[in-house]
Amino acid sequence: MKDKKEDKALRELFQDKLGKAEVIPSPSVSKALMRKLALRRFLHFNATSFNVWYAGGIVIAGSLVAVILSSDPGKNEQTKQAPVSTEFNTPLVNEAVKEETTKSSAGNDAEGETVYEAHRDKKSGAEITSDKGAAHIQDDQKKSTLTSVDIPDISEEGLIMEDKTGRNNLKVAVKQSDNLIAASVTEGCAPLKVIFKSIIPPQDSCRWTFGDGGYSTDRNTEWLYDIEGEYNVTLIVFTAGGNKISSSTDILVHPKPVARFEITPEDAILPHDEIIFMNYSTNAVKYKWDFGDGTMSELFEPRHVYSKYGDYNVQLIAFSEYGCTDSLVILNAFSGSAYSITFPNAFIPNPNGPSGGYYSPRSDESAFVFHPVYSGVAEYQLRIFSRLGILIFESNDINIGWDGYYKGALSEPGVYIWKVRGKYMSGEPFTKMGDVTLLKN
Amino acid sequence: MMSDQQIIEGCARNERKAQQELYRRYSHFLLGVCLRYASDKAEAEDILQDSFLKIFFNIKDYSGTGSFIGWLRKIAVNTAITHYHKYLKFRYYVEIEEFVSVESGISSFEEDLFTSDELFRVLNELPAGYRMVFNLYAVEGYKHKEIARMLGIDTNTSKSQYSRAKAAIREKLEKLRKLKGNYPASNQ
């Protein structure tokens, strides 16, 4: 009851206070909204909204492409010769473009020309301005290195009038240049960290794209390539004068080899077993092994015999064809002694008669024989007593266990005591005792 | 002075002036709606902007029946839900264990104890999931079944999120009340 009342009170509080609450948006919201609206309209081209802006844009873009195509050789030369490292702000290229454009548009139809003239009139005041939005359109639509795009200025028709800051005409030229990037390395092994420095005047801004989807707008930056490949790094400089200069360099990242190995057999009995090092390395052409006991090898899959257990650190260094390396160390590889002996605590003798106690893991699937699971046993004596203390079985051969028969007769079900003593291969002695329950089938 | 009907027709013809007027007239109200669904004003303004884009592009679909302001609000709420799903992966989820349930014994709130600014802040600080469900249920008045469908969650999840949201809100309100030195009579 109380809960419902509380619930209602809370709902009413928020409904009353916030249901019709008004909050004043920042002025930037409406501006951004109108920009988006205009851009969407522009991109979502349709015939009903076709207007003078489209006509102008198409005419200028078209004529510019024509200019580039027709005057290709001379143009290229001019572009290359344009000073790039010291005089970014000189709008040399842009001037050229403007002139060319004027010339060629003279040949176009009347409508296009008037539109273009209108542009020019406005442009006389503000030379060339760059805008992120415009640059974006330009990137998407045109891939050529020298392009010019006009987009309609939304401020004129925007919801909230923007102050006229000379953004009436957007014009962007991209120029290719090669000496603006200083990279700390241009080739190396993955993961490769490269420090990039841009040689640009302080008043210019820039944008790096690293060729793997990453980008940065810092003047000097660093990037980590962790996947091999050839990456084309591009630096676009937005000069204070409104120019766009791009510069690029290639970074070659070599694959990193991967060092992997396994030690077999897993529970090796030392020094009895020869150890095989299984090599699963990839991207590698050369190997260096350190077995940790002072011996080395350069084989692909070496074999090694250790004289005794110890805290050996086995290391593999894998080298790729480019000299990239990777290493893997297995610490304390043979520290834990693999010597052991354990006994079960129950067994069911074969009711059909004595077997003599010989067994193997395969023949004794039904556990007819009482025997240990062991490794590294050198000497062995097993004795089994009844509860009255009578010795009923003795074996000095680890391969012979107790079949549950005493003097040819099946022993009574019940608890029997076993005692074992012997030596491991290392010379370490062992003694153990316990009980085992003989079960009836 | 344009009527709503004139504005709608103007917007349908993509007239800048009508859009301008629509924005001027309703952006304050709609930002209030958006702010309930956001963790701060900047996020609310993002939602507002997307809402207006939707409104301008879909105004032809407004049938003319039902209240226009209700239609606008619905678009804002739907945009907020889209926004919530889109940025879901950037949010972390706060479990109920963090909230100690408060025995408040409140059955009514003094009218002017909390300002709407404070209530906005209470909502803004809620985990996004709680905020969505609380707004949709308590303020918008949707049923848990509808909320479950809108958010793509289970009906029971909606219910439990709501009660957790309430517990969290109550705790925040209680703290606020104490901060203001205004203890409810029932607590003495």
Residue A383 three-state SS: strand
Between residues A165 and B164, the one the model is more confident about: B164
Write the CA distances from B99 to A17, A36, B126, integer angstroms. 24, 42, 11
User: So what's the pLDDT on residue A222?
Assistant: 87
Tokens of B3: 């009527």
pLDDT at B47 over 80: yes
User: So what's the pLDDT on residue B111?
Assistant: 56
User: So what's the pLDDT on residue B108?
Assistant: 53
Strand partners, A382: A395, A420
Polymer length of chain B? 188
Question: Cβ contacts (< 8 Å) between A160 and chain B: which residues?
Answer: 20
Q: Of A331-340, A343-352, B39-48, B123-132, where does mean pLDDT reach its minimum? A: A331-340
Of A2, A17, A23, the CB nearest to B31: A23
Question: Cβ contacts (< 8 Å) between A22 and chain B: which residues?
Answer: 28-29, 31-32
Write the CA distances from A374 to A206, A421, A424, B155, integer angstroms. 71, 13, 10, 60
Report the residue of chain B nearest A32, measured CA to CA. Answer: B49
Question: Cβ contacts (< 8 Å) between A14 and chain B: which residues?
Answer: 119, 123, 134, 138-139
Cross-chain Cβ contact B107/A37 below 8 Å: no
For A276-303, letters b (16+ CB in 10 Å) and e give: bbebebebbeebbbbbbbeeebeeeebe
List of long-range contacts for A32-35, beta carbons under 8 Å, 24+ apart: A32/B49, A33/A159, A33/B23, A33/B49, A33/B52, A33/B53, A34/A154, A34/A157, A34/A158, A34/A159, A34/A160, A35/A133, A35/A154, A35/A158
Question: Cβ contacts (< 8 Å) between B51 and chain A: which residues?
Answer: none
Cross-chain Cβ contact A18/B20 below 8 Å: no
Using a CB–CB cut-off of 8 Å, the residues of B that contact A are: 14, 16, 19-20, 23-24, 27-29, 31-32, 35-36, 41, 44-45, 48-49, 52-53, 56-57, 104-109, 114-116, 119-120, 123, 134, 138-139, 166, 169-170
Strand partners, A188: A253
Q: What is the DSSP letter of A332?
A: T
> Cα(B94)–Cα(B92) distance, rounded to whole angstroms?
7
Cross-chain Cβ contact B139/A37 below 8 Å: no
Contact residues for A334 (Cβ-Cβ < 8 A; gap 6+) = A268, A270, A306, A309, A310, A311, A312
Instruction: Please state the three-class secondary structure of B16-41 as a single string.
Output: HHHHHHHHHHHHHHHHHHHHHCCCCH
Rg (CA), chain B: 19
**Distance to chain B for A73, nearest Cα, Å:** 46
Polymer length of chain A? 441
Report the residue of chain B nearest A5, measured CA to CA. Answer: B107
Report the residue of chain B nearest A39, measured CA to CA. Answer: B53
Residue A339 three-state SS: coil
Question: Cβ contacts (< 8 Å) between B106 and chain A: which residues?
Answer: 6, 9
Q: What is the DSSP letter of B89?
A: G
In which region does residue A229 sit, left (phi positive, over 0), alpha (psi from -120 to 50) or beta (all else)? left
Q: What is the DSSP string of A160-201?
A: SPPP--S-S-B---EEEESSSEEES-SEEESSEEEEEEE---
Of A11, A23, A37, the CB nearest to B28: A23
Question: Cβ contacts (< 8 Å) between A13 and chain B: which residues?
Answer: 109, 114, 119
User: So what's the pLDDT on residue A308?
Assistant: 81
**Residue B60 pLDDT class (50, 70, 90 cuts):** confident
Q: Number of Cβ pairs closer than 8 Å across A and B?
A: 96
Cross-chain Cβ contact B105/A2 below 8 Å: yes
Contact residues for B44 (Cβ-Cβ < 8 A; gap 6+) = A23, B31, B34, B35, B37, B38
Neighbouring C-alpha atoms within 13 Å toward the C-beta of A304:
24
ipTM metric: 0.81
> Cα(A418)–Cα(A17) distance, rounded to whole angstroms?
85
Tokens of A338: 């693999």
Tokens of A201: 């005047």
Tokens of A194: 């490269």
Question: Cβ contacts (< 8 Å) between A24 and chain B: which residues?
Answer: 28, 31
**Distance to chain A for B1, nearest Cα, Å:** 16
Digit-by-digit pLDDT tens for chain A (441 residues) are 567 777 888 888 888 888 888 888 888 888 888 888 877 766 655 545 455 556 666 667 777 777 666 654 444 444 334 343 333 443 444 444 444 444 444 444 444 333 343 344 444 443 334 444 444 444 444 333 333 344 444 443 444 433 334 333 333 344 555 568 888 888 888 888 898 888 887 788 888 888 888 888 888 888 888 888 899 888 888 888 888 888 888 899 988 888 989 888 877 777 778 888 989 888 899 999 999 888 999 999 999 998 887 888 899 999 998 888 999 988 877 776 667 888 988 998 888 888 888 877 665 566 788 988 888 888 999 999 998 888 999 999 988 899 999 888 889 999 999 999 999 887 888 999 999 999 887
Rg (CA), chain A: 43
Strand partners, A433: A419
User: So what's the pLDDT on residue A109?
Assistant: 42
Among candidates A145, A99, A96, which has minimal Cα distance to A120? A99
Pairing of strands A174-177, A409-410: unpaired
Cross-chain Cβ contact B16/A160 below 8 Å: no
Contact residues for A250 (Cβ-Cβ < 8 A; gap 6+) = A186, A230, A231, A232, A233
pTM above 0.80, yes or no: no
Residue B10 three-state SS: helix
Cross-chain Cβ contact A33/B123 below 8 Å: no
Residue A393 three-state SS: strand
Q: Which of B13, B17, B26, B48 to mutate to test the interface with A (most CBs of A within 10 A)?
A: B48
Cross-chain Cβ contact B32/A30 below 8 Å: no
**Distance to chain B for A248, nearest Cα, Å:** 34
Question: Cβ contacts (< 8 Å) between B24 and chain A: which residues?
Answer: 159
Question: Cβ contacts (< 8 Å) between B29 and chain A: which residues?
Answer: 20, 22
> Cα(A150)–Cα(A169) distance, rounded to whole angstroms?
7
Q: Which of B13, B14, B16, B28 to mutate to test the interface with A (most CBs of A within 10 A)?
A: B16
Cross-chain Cβ contact B14/A21 below 8 Å: no
